[in-house]
Chains A and B, each alone.
Chain A
């Protein structure tokens, strides 16, 4: 018994002796929580594909930042926001449906990034950009994550009611003199910044998971928006910690572990949510005979 307890305690404490694990935990939790907050609106507005698009479209920006020795966030933001604007323009000025426009723009940007990467001296960096390298983040990376995360959370704190209004009823927003286009732009801007924050934790390929899964999970568990935010943030923080530890002990991909941990939370909610879970609903629909006669 004692050895079991020591084992469990060691499982948690040993990794913490390494500074790189502490830093990884910090980045993963901060990025996870920021993404989770935003994911609540993404889920409700139905912007999963947009999240996928923005995350892939930042690749050329990140590569160019490397080439010019700029902070990676600068290039990523330019290309993230630029792609969103491009999607908007093509969508408004052609008959092609929005999802197709999104598909065209983000794959084009991603391809451009891949081509540019061939010009970058070290190929190992590509792996880090695509799949994340949270166990090897530099001080500069940490600062970028913390500053951008603070910016996103501050804006959200100030504008969360407007964002929810936009998600629920943009026509009413317009009718009372609040510009829904401006709110849409704000939400897209927040998405771009958030994607950049999350890049460090899980890499370009998996960022979209971070801006969808926590919100989708929380949506299965509550009918109240404030609770949805809290649940999503809690799920993401827990998944970040679980993912980093799993990655350390099992020597597997950190980004992959974090997203798998989030996916496990979603699966549990999907199956067992008191109101929305498929298993619960089935039981309610077909009550067992004993339950039916009990009252």
Chain B
């Protein structure tokens, strides 16, 4: 079967900083893969590599069998950015953001047709944002903001979703809501790659997990990857000293 996400031998450097070192990753369709790693471990860089935003020194990306460019042109890739990447004071409404998910489907003026409006309404309803749709995007809670961008990916009808730190800055109840929403999307046949440096939601959400620290340190079921021995082997005493979220 064709993998939904397939990365082989990706090496990425920012000047002198080696951000990814020979990273390989395969996610089968309809699965949720957790991308785990501390801050600076290269999670966002891997997303950018999959999106074709950073030139990889070497390596190959395939999305459902397509090259990156072909996959983007088909709108297969939905991206939910890390909170720090978004200008929350930008004068757009939640509805406008979700409509941007349709821009790959419409003509060069990006004028919405009734079908696009319906897709947006549907995405808003699925993410329970219908009542908040006319708010400015920054006038939402942390969890609602994440859901707005998930709604954009739903409106886009993306088959593969990349979510960068969807649980950062989100309270416990919203975490559960988001997890439930993402599992519904998976059950609908979508593939999700979810990065996080906070492990609380991993067992409930992920079918498999990858531990990243510039290169892949461990992969397997969440139970395997989250075993204290694995984490300790990966990060050793240093992780404990620095009080990282990895310490069991």
Instruction: List B contacts of A177 (CB < 8 A).
Output: 72-75, 104
* Contact segment of B90-98, B120-128, B205-213: B90-98
Contact partner of A171 (CB less than 8 A), chosen from B53, B73, B156, is: B53
Q: Verify if A285 is at the interface (C-beta below 8 Å from B).
A: no
Instruction: List B contacts of A168 (CB < 8 A).
Output: 87, 90, 92, 97, 100
Residues 32-62 of A, flagged 1 when their CB comes within 8 A of B and 0 if not, give 0000000000001000000000000000000
Q: Verify if A2 is at the interface (C-beta below 8 Å from B).
A: no
- Given the interface contacts A171-B85, A224-B91, A228-B91, does A178 sit within 8 Å of B79 by beta carbon? no
Contact partner of B110 (CB less than 8 A), chosen from A161, A224, A225, is: A161
Instruction: List A contacts of B87 (CB < 8 A).
Output: 44, 168
Q: Verify if A172 is at the interface (C-beta below 8 Å from B).
A: yes
Tell me which of A167, A172, A225 has the highest count of chain B C-beta atoms within 10 A of its own C-beta.
A172
The distance from the CB of B153 to the nearest CB of chain A, in whole angstroms, is: 9
Size category of the binding interface on chain B: 20 to 34
Q: Which residue of A lies closest to B48 (CB)?
A: A171
Chain A residues with a Cβ closer than 8 Å to the other chain, count: 24
Instruction: List A contacts of B72 (CB < 8 A).
Output: 174-177
Contact B51 A176 (CB under 8 A): no
Q: Verify if B109 is at the interface (C-beta below 8 Å from A).
A: yes
The distance from the CB of A281 to the nearest CB of chain B, in whole angstroms, is: 14
Q: Verify if A219 is at the interface (C-beta below 8 Å from B).
A: yes
Q: Verify if A280 is at the interface (C-beta below 8 Å from B).
A: no
The distance from the CB of B80 to the nearest CB of chain A, in whole angstroms, is: 10
Complex CA–CA separation, A175 to B86 (angstroms): 15
Q: Verify if A139 is at the interface (C-beta below 8 Å from B).
A: no
Tell me which of B53, B91, B92, B103 has the highest count of chain A C-beta atoms within 10 A of its own C-beta.
B91
Contact partner of B100 (CB less than 8 A), chosen from A159, A165, A222, A228, is: A165
Q: Which residue of A lies closest to B90 (CB)?
A: A168
Contact B100 A172 (CB under 8 A): yes
Complex CA–CA separation, A118 to B87 (angstroms): 46
Interface residues of A: mostly helix, strand, loop or mixed? helix
Residues 192-221 of B, flagged 1 when their CB comes within 8 A of A and 0 if not, give 000000000000000000000000000000
Instruction: List A contacts of B53 (CB < 8 A).
Output: 171, 174
Interface residues of B: mostly helix, strand, loop or mixed? loop
Q: Which residue of B lies closest to A228 (CB)?
A: B91
Instruction: List B contacts of A44 (CB < 8 A).
Output: 87, 90-91
The distance from the CB of B98 to the nearest CB of chain A, in whole angstroms, is: 11
Complex CA–CA separation, A191 to B136 (angstroms): 27
Complex CA–CA separation, A162 to B110 (angstroms): 7
Q: Which residue of A lies closest to B74 (CB)?
A: A177
Contact partner of A224 (CB less than 8 A), chosen from B81, B93, B100, B108, is: B93
Q: Which residue of A lies closest to B77 (CB)?
A: A175
The distance from the CB of B93 to the nearest CB of chain A, in whole angstroms, is: 7
The distance from the CB of A57 to the nearest CB of chain B, in whole angstroms, is: 28
Instruction: List B contacts of A228 (CB < 8 A).
Output: 91
- Given the interface contacts A178-B103, A225-B92, does A169 sit within 8 Å of B75 by beta carbon? no
Complex CA–CA separation, A225 to B109 (angstroms): 17
Q: Verify if A223 is at the interface (C-beta below 8 Å from B).
A: yes
Contact partner of A223 (CB less than 8 A), chosen from B85, B91, B111, B156, is: B91
Instruction: List A contacts of B74 (CB < 8 A).
Output: 177
Instruction: List A contacts of B52 (CB < 8 A).
Output: 174
Complex CA–CA separation, A165 to B104 (angstroms): 12
Q: Verify if B145 is at the interface (C-beta below 8 Å from A).
A: no
Q: Verify if A164 is at the interface (C-beta below 8 Å from B).
A: yes
Complex CA–CA separation, A44 to B96 (angstroms): 16
Instruction: List A contacts of B51 (CB < 8 A).
Output: 171, 174-175
Complex CA–CA separation, A171 to B97 (angstroms): 13
Q: Which residue of A lies closest to B164 (CB)?
A: A171
Contact A175 B78 (CB under 8 A): yes
The distance from the CB of A208 to the nearest CB of chain B, in whole angstroms, is: 22
Tell me which of A159, A164, A176 has the highest count of chain B C-beta atoms within 10 A of its own C-beta.
A176
- Given the interface contacts A164-B92, A174-B53, does A159 sit within 8 Å of B109 by beta carbon? yes
Contact partner of A176 (CB less than 8 A), chosen from B75, B81, B97, B136, is: B75
Residues 146-162 of A, flagged 1 when their CB comes within 8 A of B and 0 if not, give 00000000000011011
Q: Which residue of B lies closest to A222 (CB)?
A: B91
Instruction: List A contacts of B104 (CB < 8 A).
Output: 176-178
Tell me which of A158, A172, A175, A219 has the highest count of chain B C-beta atoms within 10 A of its own C-beta.
A175
A-B contacts besides A169-B86, A177-B74, A225-B92, 6 pairs, CB < 8 Å:
A165-B110, A172-B152, A174-B53, A175-B77, A178-B103, A228-B91
- Enumerate the 5 nearest inter-chain pairs by beta-carbon distance, A residue then B residue, closest first: A176-B104, A161-B110, A223-B136, A177-B73, A177-B72
Interface set of A (CB-CB < 8 Å, partner B): 44, 158-159, 161-162, 164-165, 167-169, 171-178, 219, 222-225, 228
- 17 A-B Cβ contacts within 8 A? A44-B91, A159-B108, A159-B109, A161-B111, A165-B100, A168-B97, A169-B100, A171-B79, A171-B81, A172-B81, A174-B72, A176-B104, A178-B103, A219-B91, A222-B91, A223-B91, A223-B136
